[in-house]
Amino acid sequence: MSMSGVAVIGVGMTPISSTSDKSLTELFVQAAKEAIDNAGIDRVDAMYVGNMMSGFLQHQEHLGPLMASALGKEGVPTYKVEAACASGGVAMNVGMKAVLSGLDKIVVVGAVEKMSGYSTPEVTTGLMMAEDRLKVATSGVTFVGLNAMIAREYMHRFKVSHEIMAELPVLCHENALDNPKAQFHKRITVSDVLKSPLVADPLRLYDCSGIGDGAAVVILTSTEEARKFTDTPVEVAASSVASDTLSLYQRKDITMFEASRKAANEAYGRAKLTPADIDVLEVHDAFSVLGLMALEDLGFAQKGKGAQLLVNGECNRDGRLPTNTFGGLKARGHPVGASGMYQIAELTLQLTQHAAKCQVPNPSIGLAQSIGGIGSTVAVHILRRI
C-alpha cells in the first residue's frame, strides 16, 4: 500500500423491496449504471460481483459475465465473490486488492441479491448455507435460531433487557424514514418491537431484518487518479477481512465475534486510527443483538454495554457516533450478499455530503462492518474523505 491508496469515486444503489419484479441482472445493472454515471467513467478494467444465493435460489452462477455483458462491458475480467451475508463486504476487499495490484485501474465492485418470490423453506435453507450444512443445518436449527441462542446468552450474561435491545431497531426505522431507497418506511416504538410476533425466542419480528432484493455498486480507482473523476474522492483507509470457525458450536464465547475484533483491530492499525476517530458507523444488525455486539467488538463500548450508546442517544444522527444512518440492515433492508456494499455506498454519500435527509454533520471518517454467517467472516472498512 506504499505506492498509492484506493478511492471510491462513484456509487449506485437500487431501492430494496420484497415485491420487486426485477431479475438479478436488472437489479445489478440498475445500480451499476447509476454508479458508472455517478463516477463519470468511460471504461472499466475489471468487475467483481458479490452475491450469496444465486446458485441455490435462481439456479444461476457465473454472474460476472452475466452482469458485464448486460452492461455492455463484455470482455473485462469479472467474477463472483462469496462469503455469505458478507459477500458485498469481501467483494470490496477483493476489488481494493485488484486496484492495489496495479493490474486494474478502474474497477466496478458491486453486489446483488434476490430473495423475494421464494418460499420460506427455500429462503431459510438458503440462509443456512452460511453455516455448516453437514454438521449443523441438518439438525434443523435455522439461521435465526442460531442468532436467538446468541441473544439469549447475551441478554442473560450482561443483564440486557429486551426493552434496551429494541432501541436499535427503533433507531434504524427512524433513520430509514429519510432514505427513499429503504425497504421499510414505518416508525416503530420499543413497545412495537416487544409486541411483534416471536420468530425464535427471544428474537421477535422487529429484532430481525427482512427479506428483500437489491443491488449496490461502487467504482474504485487509485487515490492518484481519483481527482480526475470527482472533487470529493473518498479513500479506502483500510479494508480488513477476518474469519472464524464456520460454526457457532465451535466457539468458546458466543457473545462476541472474534473475527469482528480481529478485522477491526487490523483496520484501525492500517488506517492509524482509533474508534474515537470514527464519525459515522454502519454495523451489521441483521438481528438486533448483533448490532449491540458490533458496538462492543468494534471498540465503541465495553463488553455488554453496547446498548448504553443507544440509550444515551449517541448513535442518533445528531449524536457522537451516528450509526446505521440510512436505516441499517433492519430498515434500509438486508439483501444478504449485497448489504455490505450498501454500507460502503452509504458511507460514501455521508462523507461526500450527498446523504440528503440522512446527512450527518460534516463527517470525515466512516467505518462499516459486514458479517458473513454467525460471525464466521467479518469485513471492516474505514473510509476517509480526502
Which residues sit at the interface with a second copy, rule CB under 8 A?
1-2, 23, 25, 52-56, 58-66, 68-69, 74-84, 90, 93-94, 96-98, 100-104, 125, 128-134, 137, 240-247, 250, 258-259, 262, 372-373, 376-377
State the catalytic residue, choosing from 85, 172, 208, 358.
85
Q: How far apart are CA 171 and CA 323, in angstroms?
A: 9
Is 85 an annotated catalytic residue? yes
Instruction: State how far the Cα of 122 lies from the Cα of 20, in Å rounded to an integer.
Output: 18
* Contact in structure between 218 and 10 (CB atoms under 8 Å): yes
Encoded amino acid at 310, one letter: L
Our CB check for a second copy shows the closer of 165 and 336 to be 336
Take residue 162 and report the three cell numbers written for it: 429486551
Q: How far is the CB of 170 from a second copy (least distance, A)?
A: 31
Closest CB 225 distance from a second copy, rounded Å? 16
* Residue 7, H or E segment: strand 6-13
Is the CB of 137 or the CB of 283 nearer to a second copy? Answer: 137
Cβ within 8 Å of residue 83, ≥6 positions away: 89, 90, 241, 372, 377, 379
Minimum distance from residue 345 beta carbon to a second copy (Å): 20
Give the residue with the Cβ less far from a second copy, 134 or 276: 134
H/E stretch holding 93 reads helix 87-100
Residue 286: CB partners within 8 Å, gap ≥ 6?
Answer: 85, 147, 208, 209, 329, 334, 339, 371
315 is catalytic: no
Nearer to a second copy by Cβ, of 18 and 265: the residue is 265
Q: 173, 284, 334, 381: which is the annotated catalytic residue?
A: 334
Q: Which residue's CB is nearer to a second copy, number 215 or number 242?
A: 242
CB of 362 to a second copy, least distance (A): 31
Closest CA to 149 of 238, 253, 226: 253
- Quote the least distance from Cβ 119 to a second copy, whole Å: 15
Active-site residue set: 85, 334
